[in-house]
Structure 1
Amino acid sequence: MASVFTKIINGEIPAFKIAENEDYMAFLDVFPLVKGHTLVIPKQEVDKIFEMDKSLYLGLMDFAYDVAQAVEKAIPCIRVGIAVIGLEVPHTHVHLVPLNTIQDINFTNTKLKLENEEMIEIAEKIKSFL
């Protein structure tokens, strides 16, 4: 059964896309810890990050680097944090989280509930820096 991220890749589920190429995609987390919380995924469905082919892994990190640069320019923050948890969805994904405090990347925090219009605005602002 396809993961929710594969369904996003295939256009079966909508997403607030930020960037995409042949192998990777970045989009806003719909359950963000903070505004600008972005997910970066390989299009190839691999459950665990360290089960990925090394070249796919390195490509994912390279793609995430470019997206993180744009997030940091678009969202007021001290830096962009990165986390790979991998328990929520069985498809490798990197969290890019704008940070102003260590608590901003605490995954036990209550998630934000942003309106679609605000999510679109955030995605467009991040895209403008790519």
Structure 2
Amino acid sequence: MEDSIFTKIIKGELPCHKIYEDDRTIAFLDIHPQVEGHTLVIPKKQVDSLWDLDDDTYTHLWNVAKRLARHIERLKIRPRVASVVMGYGVPHAHIHLIPIGSEAELKQPQDTESPVDHDALAAMAEKLRTNA
């Protein structure tokens, strides 16, 4: 299997705005966020579908996502943090954590055409960074 963009991030071949990492997972900001703080939580092991992860990795990934969502909620970026699993875009299992103030924010499309604002992402990553 060819390395996904996420595997290249894990290997350090591509940069990211990381907020958390342990021996099995990494979490970083989406470069085209739906809203500020939009975070991706991924296993370091490349598996296309979340449902194909082994049980231990699957459970660990969701436990990390829960801790990060609680952390983001405590920072009061928005009242809630939604979790979304779509299974498209990148052939590497991942969970989106999206701070939202309403369902409408969750439904707005990502703007993948605008230039990436690395300064804003770096500032948000600094705010969100944690050892969870």
User: TM-score normalized by structure 1?
Assistant: 0.92
RMSD of aligned alpha carbons = 1.8
Give the Cα–Cα distance (whole angstroms) in 2 for the partners of residues 54 and 40 of structure 1.
16
Is there any run of 5+ residues in structure 1 with no aligned partner, and where?
none
**2:37·2:77 contact (CA, 8 Å) conserved in 1?**
no
Partner of 2:102: 101
Is there any run of 5+ residues in structure 2 with no aligned partner, and where?
none
Give the Cα–Cα distance (whole angstroms) in 2 for the partners of residues 5 and 17 of structure 1.
12
**2:34·2:109 contact (CA, 8 Å) conserved in 1?**
no
Give the Cα–Cα distance (whole angstroms) in 1 for the partners of residues 10 and 37 of structure 2.
20
Write out aligned runs for 1:1-130 (5 A): 1-106=2-107, 108-110=109-111, 115-127=117-129, 130=132
**Matched length:** 130
User: TM-score normalized by structure 2?
Assistant: 0.90
**2:33·2:110 contact (CA, 8 Å) conserved in 1?**
no
The share of aligned pairs that are identical, in percent, is 37
- Report runs of 4+ in structure 1 exceeding 6 Å deviation: none
**Deviates further, 71-80 or 7-16:** 71-80
Give the Cα–Cα distance (whole angstroms) in 2 for the partners of residues 23 and 55 of structure 1.
10
